Structure 1
Amino acid sequence: MRASVTRPLLFLALALSAAALPASAAEPYRVTPSDLHLEHLRPAQLSYLVYMHAGPGSGIKRPVLASFSVSRQTVDGTPAWVITHAWEDPDGTVHTARTVHAASDIATLSQDATWMRSGQRMSSHVVPARGEGRAEGEWPEAARQCLEAGFQAMQDGWWMNWHSDLTLLPLLPYEKGGTLRIRLFDVGMPAPLDVDYTVLGERTLAGADGRRYDCWLVETESGNPGGGAFQRFWIDKASRVVVKEEDNFNGQYRSKYLLAVPVSLEFPAPEDGKQG
């Protein structure tokens, strides 16, 4: 989850992700919670460089640093995975989120999120199992209506939280090959949506430190077949981590690259600006 382009506003503004290559003619495989490789989910700190551009050599626009924390906790007596987001651009923090997922099937138990746009703050809070939600701040009216319409739809069966895609999508059973179909939902959508992810093949990326990343190359139209956009993910097989992503929509690209080490300031300067 999206200043950076985050999922709720992006969903309302764009039809993200469409495949440039045809999907397999075979019927997509329906992914259920039992198919997910939850054994690969682990505590982690991840940072991604995210930016927009018009293609190679065009220069980058709207650079964003996206940091994620994944931790195992007990929340209200329930074993859970908690995923937090913090997105920063040159002007400061533009998006934060805290999503609590049930450890048993990564169902969303609750989510709190904030966005800053042009000096205006928007926030949302949802408890999907109860169909409860609220939107606060300066939401555009159309976005608010769509968001509020989805509150009841949150109760309509199991779905994977799209806002946590960089953490949870690698858990899909890509070893099956072909096209995998999974039910997704994010705050800002009117209802859950079936989305297909097609395994195009394998790719190997070489890191500057000599490490090889043997990846699945996965492509999706994000539930909008023929919309003229796509998302492609390079998912490291060994770690089940997205190491690279390329999106194309509205004639522009968005790229995401996993940084070798998470970004954190370990030695902040003294408040008076003087070094000790």
Structure 2
Amino acid sequence: MQKFLVIIVTFLLSSLISWSQKMDTIRITPELVNTKVLIPGTHRWLVYFKMGADSPRTMFNIWTRNIQKTSYNGKEGIEVSQEWEDKDGIMHTTRSVSDAKDFRTLYHTSWWKQRGSSTFDFLKAEAIVNEKVITKADTSVRLRRTREAFEEAVPQYTLNWHLDLEVFPLLPYRNHVTFLINFYDPGFSAPKWVAYTVTGSAKLPGLNGEQVDCWLLEHHETNNKETFFISKKTKEVLKLEQQFGKMYRYKIKLPFSN
């Protein structure tokens, strides 16, 4: 009887541990990010779409991102500049400065080929769209929503959703953990907590037959599934597989940058 009770207790404890691992959720706060893992220099990703699982690749982009140390209004920062190219030329550029300690957004400026320019200074609480400071006097629905979202973001600890490829390396990975990240993409919707779950591991084929051990980080929304491959060694995002409906998008980190 005693042996039977030991077996039952052991089973219950094992089940409880397994359940707790599956339910492990971490709300990302400043002390949990590790900015030291970011690799300075130039990095590039190939981005393309497939209109179906067996369709040819199309809509090619090259994303160039440069990481370097900087200072902003007396604060130590990390600057990430981006340049997105399509077949016709440059379609998008950004310059973002995040706090060197916890990667909170300090400054973000961007230009879109079809949208124009915008600048968001979190230390000055100032937003500029197409060279005009936006205020409560603006009646445009777009500008009002942009201003209200920015004002909501300024006092919060947010991470820049436009820097997701730099944010994901900073997280404290382990199996079966869900990260809740307060993401905000300056110029767009208000900050929101977004869930990303470490679902396991996988190996990606690398150069010279190397098998790169990666974490699998997944995000699900209605009609949208993203799976990021995060190198366990370098912490870099090496690949994204995204499916929305019958359409697919991929981001592949290039091994060389010129």
Which TM-score band applies after superposition, normalised by the shorter structure?
0.7 to 0.9
How much has 1:61 moved relative to structure 2?
A: 2.0
Q: Structure 1 stretch 187-196 or stretch 98-107: which is displaced more?
A: 187-196
- Within the candidate set 214, 228, 239, 1:244 is matched to 239
1:96 and 1:114 in contact (8 A); partners too: yes
TM-score of the aligned structures, taking structure 1 as reference length: 0.78
SS at match of 1:261: coil
Where does residue 123 of structure 1 map in the other structure? 117
Q: Mapping of 1:114-193 within 5 angstroms?
A: 114-117=111-114, 121-136=115-130, 143-175=142-174, 177-193=176-192
1:131 and 1:153 in contact (8 A); partners too: no
Deviations 1:37-62 (A, max 9, x none): 22212312110000111234301221
Distance in 2 (CA, whole Å) between partners of 1:55 and 1:73 is 43
Distance in 2 (CA, whole Å) between partners of 1:181 and 1:32 is 9
Where does residue 198 of structure 1 map in the other structure? 197
How much has 1:189 moved relative to structure 2?
A: 2.9
Instruction: Structure 1: give runs of 5+ residues left out of the alignment.
Output: 1-23, 265-276
Structure 2 vs 1, CA of residues 27 and 78 (structure 1 numbering), >3 Å: closer, same or farther? Answer: same
The amino acid that maps onto 1:243 is L
Where does residue 225 of structure 2 map in the other structure? 230
Distance in 2 (CA, whole Å) between partners of 1:192 and 1:69 is 25
1:49 and 1:64 in contact (8 A); partners too: yes
Distance in 2 (CA, whole Å) between partners of 1:76 and 1:198 is 35
Considering only CA atoms, is the larger Rg found in Structure 1 or Structure 2?
2
SS at match of 1:209: helix
- Within the candidate set 57, 68, 72, 1:71 is matched to 68
Where does residue 255 of structure 1 map in the other structure? 250
Deviations 1:234-257 (A, max 9, x none): 000110100000112253111000
How much has 1:218 moved relative to structure 2?
A: 0.6
Where does residue 92 of structure 2 map in the other structure? 95
The amino acid that maps onto 2:173 is Y
TM-score of the aligned structures, taking structure 2 as reference length: 0.83
How much has 1:186 moved relative to structure 2?
A: 0.7
The amino acid that maps onto 2:98 is H
How much has 1:78 moved relative to structure 2?
A: 1.8
Structure 2 vs 1, CA of residues 176 and 37 (structure 1 numbering), >3 Å: closer, same or farther? Answer: farther
Q: Which runs of 4+ in 1 moved over 4 A?
A: 141-145
2:175 and 2:200 in contact (8 A); partners too: no
Distance in 1 (CA, whole Å) between partners of 2:145 and 2:245 is 22
The count of aligned residue pairs is: 230
SS at match of 2:168: helix
Which one has the bigger helix percentage? Answer: 2
Deviations 1:40-87 (A, max 9, x none): 123121100001112343012211000000001223322110000000
Where does residue 109 of structure 2 map in the other structure? 112
Instruction: Percent identity, please.
Output: 30
- Within the candidate set 37, 41, 45, 1:40 is matched to 37
Task: Report whether the alignment pairs 1:85 with 2:82.
Answer: yes
Larger RCO (alpha carbons 8 Å, 6+ apart): 1
Instruction: Structure 2: give runs of 5+ residues left out of the alignment.
Output: 1-20, 132-139
Distance in 2 (CA, whole Å) between partners of 1:37 and 1:236 is 15
